[in-house]
Amino acid sequence: MKTILIPIALALVLAGASGPSPGQAPAAAPPTTLTLDLAEKIAIRQNPHVQIARLIALAQVQVKRETRAADLPTVTGNLTAVDAHENSRLTAGSLNNPIVYQRAAGGVTVSQLLTDFGRTRNLVRSADLRAQAAASAQQASIQDIGLAVDEAFYRALANQAVLKVALQTVAARQTVSDQISALTGAKLRSSLDLNFANVDLQQAKLLLLNATNNSHEAQAALNALLGNEQPANYTLVDETPTVPAPAPEDAAPLVQLAFQSRPDLTALNLQASAAKKFSQAERNLQRPTVSALGTAGGAPVRADQIATPWYGAAGVNVSIPIFNGFLYSAREKEAALQAQAAEQNVQQLRQSIVRDVTDTVLEAQSGFQRIHVSRQLLDQANSAFDLAQTRYKLGLSSIVELSQAQLAQTQAQIEYANARYAYQQALAALRFQTGQ
């Protein structure tokens, strides 16, 4: 394990920049040490994407409670005061014409659903399954953010490694340029050699500028995933193993693992089951509903026509749907089609999982081989550079050969750094694809 802290000040010195003037802004705050595990925990705690999924899951639990309320009794208190014209009746707006008496009364009404032949039970089960699906979706959101943080973290490490290579390249080519400049001044090398050396130096400085910009962009992307609104500078702890574990050889067992472990697949399965239960509940709309109703109260202030100071009644009501313009049959058909669509969503995701897991395994295998090949390339480039440098010092080769060897060495160093962290990104993607 090593900590990567790129000395940006060295880049400024190599680029010819001076220290801050009295009128410039003060230096930035010291960097924060950040490991991959800590970055994941911060993102899960602060990233809005995760928080949105958590709140939706909590809201869905309340939907389940709302649905279950239909099985519980309803108690309503009433307070009524009426001042009516003597012997007045309601004669408009209704087929009957009840008389209205002056009164002040209070009472309680209780209603209880006895049975709707399975509709409420299926609605409650559907809501429960949707709440479970929302919880699985929350877990899927956590894994989404975890993968994004892993990729951003390794991308930042790769960019910082490239920045380190660029700093070393500028330093090395500055040394070569100074040496050739001295030899040119002593008439031991031509001005052409000095021009080539200066061109190589300026190319290295351009590489440094690009690497610095890419490193800052990678840090900004990581900072956004961590849920921070203010810019931050991180010292990333590199826990990448020197000898990485080999990639999986077969995708088939990983596909089965993904089928069992992927929270997004679990969420879709639960949503499909919830849609089936809702479809059953919509079919039950055409069945009767049996309810009990009771009411009791008193009227301490009342007209003379109201003989008793209290009242009470209880009864049972059976509601039988007969015809409502085919509304219930249309709702039943709609719910059945929605349930079929939910099942197809599950099948579509399963097919995508097979493809994605297979592709990610192939990518990991290629990435593991790329590390070995780029390591060999770097060893050969280092040997070629040492040989070219020796030959140039002995006057056996031109500056062109040394320049090409320097370029090949720099490219090999960058390729090796990118290969190491790209493989870690592939492994992170494979863990995500298998739900780990």
Residue 239 sits in a domain of what CATH number? 1.20.1600.10
Assigned domain for 87 exists: no
Q: What is the pLDDT along the chain (436 residues), one digit of tens a residue?
A: 444 444 444 444 344 443 444 444 444 556 678 888 888 888 888 888 888 999 999 999 999 898 898 888 999 999 999 888 888 888 888 788 888 888 899 999 999 888 888 888 999 999 999 999 999 988 998 998 889 899 899 999 999 888 998 898 888 888 888 888 888 887 877 888 888 888 888 888 998 899 889 888 888 888 888 888 788 788 888 888 888 888 888 888 998 999 998 898 999 999 999 999 999 998 998 899 999 999 999 989 888 788 888 989 999 999 998 988 888 899 999 999 999 999 999 999 999 989 989 999 999 999 999 999 999 999 999 898 889 888 878 778 778 888 888 888 889 988 999 999 899 889 999 998 888 8
> What single letter denotes the amino acid at residue 4?
I
103 touches 11 (CB < 8 A): no
Q: Where are the alpha helices (DSSP H) in 186-301?
A: 191-225, 252-261, 263-283
Tell whether 16 is covered by a domain: no
Is 3 inside a domain boundary?
Answer: no
Amino acid identity, residue 199?
V
Domain assignment of residue 262, yes or no: yes
Report how many domains make up the chain.
1
Find the Cα–Cα–Cα–Cα dihedral 161, 165, 170, 174, rounded to 10°.
140
Whether residue 104 contacts residue 283, with contact meaning beta carbons closer than 8 Å, is answered with no
Q: Which helix (H) or strand (E) holds 298?
A: strand 289-302
* Residue whose entry in the numeric block shows the structure tokens 């958590």: 54
182 lies in some domain = yes
Domain that holds residue 66: 32-80+102-433
In angstroms, the Cα distances linking 10 to 7, 110, 350 are: 5, 80, 51
- Is 145 inside any structural domain? yes
What distance, in Å, lies between the first and last C-alpha atoms of the chain?
Answer: 23
**d(C-alpha 16, C-alpha 23), whole Å:** 19
Contact at 8 Å (CB) between 78 and 297? yes
pTM over 0.75: yes
In DSSP notation, 392-433 reads: HHTTSS-HHHHHHHHHHHHHHHHHHHHHHHHHHHHHHHHHHH
Q: Which of 279, 268, 238 is nearest to 349 (CA)?
A: 268
CA quadruple 165, 167, 168, 172: dihedral sign: positive
Residue 86 lies in a domain: no
In a domain, 92, yes or no: no
Burial of 155 (0-12, 13-18, 19+ CB in 10 A): buried
**How far is 169 from 204, CA to CA, in rounded Å?**
6
Q: How far apart are CA 150 and CA 147, in angstroms?
A: 5
